[in-house]
Homo-oligomer: A and B are copies of this chain.
Amino acid sequence: MKTPEIVHSIANLHARVGAWRKNGARVGMVPTMGALHEGHLSLVRETQSRADKVVASIFVNPAQFAPHEDFDRYPRTLETDAEKLAGVGLDLIFAPSVAEMYPAGFATKIDVGGPSLGLETDFRPHFFGGVATVVTKLLTATLPDVAVFGEKDYQQLMVIKRLTVDLNLPVEIVGAPIIREADGLAMSSRNAYLKPDERAVAGRMNVVLNDAVARLKHGDAVDQVEAFGKSDLLEAGFNSVDYVAVRDAATLERIARLDRPARILAAAKIGGTRLIDNMAA
């Protein structure tokens, strides 16, 4: 079980990926912020099924955190991340510094409207600007044939699909299913913040969403399902609920009834930790 090579510069990344491509390899990519869990490893396996060589990036992107958010305390565990990636046979890790991604004079920002409007943006207005810019840079630095993102960050996945189409980036974007703990809690690096009693509450979010999907399929009105979902989360022990929202599955536009593929998305806080989850409806 050989630890994958780690490159820190875009130049070295280009050299490695260029050599693969010269040999006719199809190249896949999994962008991450590290602190890897089984969800990330499932993304690597999904990518391996679609490409000959796979690179994972590990970069905690300051541009997608607001000053009051958890950039400083976000877990950084490169050594154990590399071991986990060795375990699934990853080929290469790209772990750039902040200065490599945003050198002096850096001045460009990518702004995606459409699917980025509302939901997370109502509570983290800086978020998708930071995500869109860094994902574009990671994709252009790597130039993969395919990149796989988790459906856990569903709105992010839709924003990335939108921007790669809009900017003609020559890459296929694939969404991979959410990986869950035994009680259904969506795996997330931020689950590490949860105290034991908070962890028990967190496990209720997926149950509440399951119930909401059942109500939708039973024919309940969207606004009623959203209101029930919100009160269910509060009753389950969440301190506050940012949103429970039923949206068009592709555009994330509001819908009045379940007359097309839809997605129910939720964000809520327990203690200092903010969790998100979503399900097809």
Contacts and interface: CB of A to CB of B under 8 A. Distances in A.
Interface of A: 10, 105-116, 132, 136-137, 140-141, 143, 162-163, 166-170, 251
User: How many copies of the chain does the oligomer comprise?
Assistant: 2
A278 B143 CA distance: 37
B166 A143 contact: no
A115 B105 CA distance: 9
A26 to B, nearest CB: 16
Contact of A137 (B112, B141, B167): B167
A180 to B, nearest CB: 31
A251 B105 CA distance: 9
Given A141-B168, A170-B143, A132 B108 contact: yes
A162 B105 contact: yes
B111 A162 contact: no
A111 B108 contact: yes
Contacts of A163: 108
A41 to B, nearest CB: 27
Contact of A107 (B108, B115, B140, B169): B115
Nearest to A138: B168
Nearest to A117: B107
5 nearest A-B residue pairs (beta carbon): A107-B114, A108-B166, A107-B113, A140-B168, A109-B111
Contacts of A251: 105
Nearest to A111: B109
A107 B111 CA distance: 8
